[in-house]
Amino acid sequence: MKIAVALLAAWMGFTLRAQVEVEIRCAQKRFLPSESIPLSVRIGNLTGMPLKLGTWPGWLSFSVEQMPAGVVKKIGDISESGEFTLEQSTVGTIKYDLSSVFEIDQMGNYRVTATVTPLEGGESFTSAPFPIEVVNGTRIEDRTFGYTLPDGTIEQRKYILQQANYLKQLQLYLRVTDRSESHTYKVISLGGLVSFKRPEFLVDKQSRFHILHQYSATESRYHVIDPDGTVITKEIRVGGDRRPQLRVNDEGLVAVIGGVRRLDKSDVPPPTEAEWKAARDAEIATAMAVARAAEASATNAPKSKKSK
């Protein structure tokens, strides 16, 4: 039995040679220190047979190098994917947060590679290096606040609002740190930012950070983030009769007034089916009203006199 398994492994190793494709993909290549770096690893099976993966802990690994400093320190392990099978001529995608595995908190250029080893001790397949750049954002404002921990003690933390230029587009970020800024709990990307409008932000009585910022000529985005750096609200607001603004009442409650919410798949929490239906019904009603107005206008328009 042992000989059969060994022969099978050797045959599989020969069959897999140069027939497993590995590629790293990411929506962006520039990040702030300690920002979440969500990568997708695409694995293509061109072996001519089903390919079983995830059968041993080290089947997928990453390597990160800072140029020219060298290998980056690991701070965690890759989460287990479990066993799965890729059929012939299919592609599987697995997503990871690279910043949870490697300490990428220094400015500079990095190269990331992913390696797939289907069989323990067998042939490995490595992706082309994927370049990323870590830049230091420009501080816009900061707020120090008290945070009550689960054990009842009060800890001083800080919200730091930053911006960075990526592909000639301003990007807005929120960094949550301790009071001295020596430890970063979370870096959250808030999206694009127009240069002509300053973001509005407030901290409520629960120490949550509310921010409303304009990212296009007509649209703004509203976020609510808790002291641990978790996004609990994310919405799009479009201009209506009144421009969207942040307001706080005497009880310390913060809300957006003005504008109209536009539902989006990226909203947090995601819109319910009832909300999607109401939005669709409103769009249909608006379209019908516009069509009726256009028809009435055409009917009531004075008829041109024909020249004799």
Provide mean pLDDT across the span 71-76: 90
Same domain for 109 and 174?
no
- Evaluate if residue 137 carries a pLDDT over 80: yes
pLDDT interval class at 157 (50, 70, 90):
very high
Q: 82-115 in b/e burial notation, b at 16+ Cβ within 10 A?
A: eeeebeeeeebebebebbebbebbeeeebebbbb
**Residue 69 has what pLDDT?**
77
CA distance 103 to 199: 30
Task: Report strand pairing: 91-97 vs 260-262.
Answer: unpaired
191 vs 302, more confident: 191
- Edge to edge, what strands does the sheet with 38-45 contain? 20-25, 38-45, 91-97
Average pLDDT estimate for 66-70: 86
Which stretches does DSSP call E strand in 226-259?
231-238, 245-248, 254-257
Residue 289 lies in a domain: no
Domain residue limits at 202 = 138-262
The reported pLDDT for the residue numbered 306 is 56
Q: Are residues 195 and 116 in the same domain?
A: no
Distances (CA, A) of 264 to 37, 238, 267: 23, 12, 5
pLDDT tens by residue, 94-114: 999 999 999 998 899 999 999
**Confidence tier at 290 by pLDDT (50, 70, 90):** confident
Per-residue model confidence as pLDDT tens digits over 20-39: 999 999 988 989 998 999 99
State the pLDDT at residue 207.
93
Same domain, 118 and 181: no
Question: Structurally, how many domains does the chain consist of?
Answer: 2
Domain annotation covers residue 267: no
- Residue 307 reports pLDDT greater than 60: no
pLDDT at site 81: 81
Q: With the CA atoms of 220, 222, 223 and 224 taken in that order, what torsion angle do they form, in degrees rounded to the nearest 10?
A: 160
Q: What percent of the chain has pLDDT over 70?
A: 91
Residues 166 and 227 in one domain: yes
Distances in Å between the Cα of 39 and the Cα atoms of 55, 85, 174 are: 22, 21, 21
Q: Which residues contact 271 (CB under 8 A, 6 or more apart)?
A: 263, 264, 279
> What is the CATH number for 77?
2.60.40.2970
Question: What pLDDT, on a 0 to 100 scale, did the predictor assign at position 84?
Answer: 92
* Domain-terminating residue out of 134, 169, 194: 134
* pLDDT over 60 (residue 15): no
Burial bucket for residue 305 (CB in 10 Å: 0-12, 13-18, 19+): exposed
Write down the mean pLDDT value for the chain.
87
Which residue among 79, 105, 134 closes a domain? Answer: 134
Q: Which amino acid is at 271?
A: P
Longest dimension (CA), the chain: 105
The first and second tokens of residue 62, run together, are: 């990453």
Where does a domain end: 86, 108, 134?
Answer: 134
Specify the range with the lowest mean pLDDT, choosing from 3-17, 73-87, 90-104, 239-253. 3-17
Mean pLDDT for 250-274 is 91
For residue 285, name the pLDDT band (cuts at 50, 70, 90). Answer: confident
Instruction: Give the whole-number percent of the chain exceeding pLDDT 90.
Output: 60
Claim to verify: residue 186 and residue 62 sit in the same structural domain:
no
Beta bridge partners of 102: 74
Above 50 in pLDDT, residue 236?
yes
Q: How far apart are CA 122 and CA 296, in angstroms?
A: 75
| Res 10: pLDDT | 38
pTM for the model stands at 0.76
Residue 303, pLDDT > 70, answer no
